[in-house]
Amino acid sequence: MTMIPSSDATRTDAEIRARIERLTLEGKIRLLSGKDHWSTYPDVTIGLRPIVLSDGTVGIRGVRWSEEDTSINTPSATAVAATFDPAVAAAAGAVMGGEARRKGVDVVLGPVINLQRSPFGGRHFEAFSEDPLLTAQMGAAMVTGMQAEGVATAAKHFVGNESETDRLNSNSVIEERVLREAYLLPFEAVVAAGGLGVMASYNRLNGTPVVHSAILTELLKEEWGFDGFVVSDWGAIRSVVASASAGTDLAMPGPHTRWADGLAAAVRAGEVAESAIDEKVLRVLRLAARVGALDGIAPLVDRAALPTPPRAEDAAVQRSLRDVAALGTVLLRNEGGVLPLDPVTTRSLAVIGPAARTPRTNGGGSAAVVAPFPISPLDALAGSLPDVDIRYAEGARPSSLLRALTAANGRAPSGDGVVSVEFLDADGAVIGAETRDRPDTLVYGMGYPDGVPEDEVSVIRLRTRITVPEDGDYLLSAAGVGHARVTVDGAVRVDDDLVPINDDAVLGMSLPPQAIVELTLRSDRPVDVEYTYRPAPRTVAALRLGFDTAVPDAARLIADAVDVARAADTAVVFVGTSAENEAEGFDRTDLALPGAQDELVRAVAAVNPRTVVVVNAGAPVLLPWRDEVAAIVLPWFGGQAMGPAVADVLTGAAEPGGRLPVTFPADERGIPSPFPEGGDVVYREGLDIGYRGYARSGAVPAYPFGHGLGYTTWDLGEARATSTNGGIAVTVTVRNTGHRHGRIVVQAYVAHPAAGAEYAVPRFAGATACELDGGAQAEVSVTVADTVSRRWDAATGRWEPITAPPQVFVGTSSRDLRVVTT
Residues with catalytic roles: 233
SS3 content of the chain, % helix, strand, coil (to 5): 25, 30, 45
Q: How far apart are the C-alpha atoms of 25 and 260, rounded to whole Å?
A: 12
Total length of the chain: 822
Torsion angle defined by CA atoms of residues 558, 560, 563 and 567, in that order, rounded to the nearest 10 degrees:
-110
CA–CA distances in Å: residue 425 to residues 10, 254, 364, 492, 668: 51, 21, 29, 22, 50
Beta strand segments in 538-634, E: 542-549, 570-576, 611-616, 631-634
Give the type of residue at 762. Answer: P
DSSP code at position 180: I
- Judge contact between 92 and 108, C-beta under 8 A: no
Q: Is residue 560 packed enough to be buried (19+ CB in 10 Å), middle (13-18) or exposed (0-12)?
A: middle
Phi-psi region of 622 (alpha: psi -120 to 50; beta: other; left: phi over 0): beta
Helices (H), 291-437: 315-328, 377-384
Q: How far apart are the C-alpha atoms of 340 and 653, rounded to whole Å?
A: 9
Which three-class secondary structure state does DSSP give residue 182? helix
Q: How far apart are the C-alpha atoms of 42 and 39, rounded to whole Å?
A: 9
Q: How far apart are the C-alpha atoms of 513 and 575, rounded to whole Å?
A: 23
- Judge contact between 365 and 509, C-beta under 8 A: yes
DSSP-assigned letters across all residues of 258-319: HHHHHHHHHHHTTSS-HHHHHHHHHHHHHHHHHTT-BTTS--SS-GGGSPPPP-TT-HHHHH
CA–CA distances in Å: residue 606 to residues 351, 598, 602: 16, 12, 6
Q: Is residue 154 packed enough to be buried (19+ CB in 10 Å), middle (13-18) or exposed (0-12)?
A: buried
Cβ within 8 Å of residue 577, ≥6 positions away = 360, 398, 593, 594, 616, 617, 618, 619, 621
Tell me phi and psi for residue 166, to 5 degrees.
Answer: 50, 40
Q: How far apart are the C-alpha atoms of 124 and 620, rounded to whole Å?
A: 9
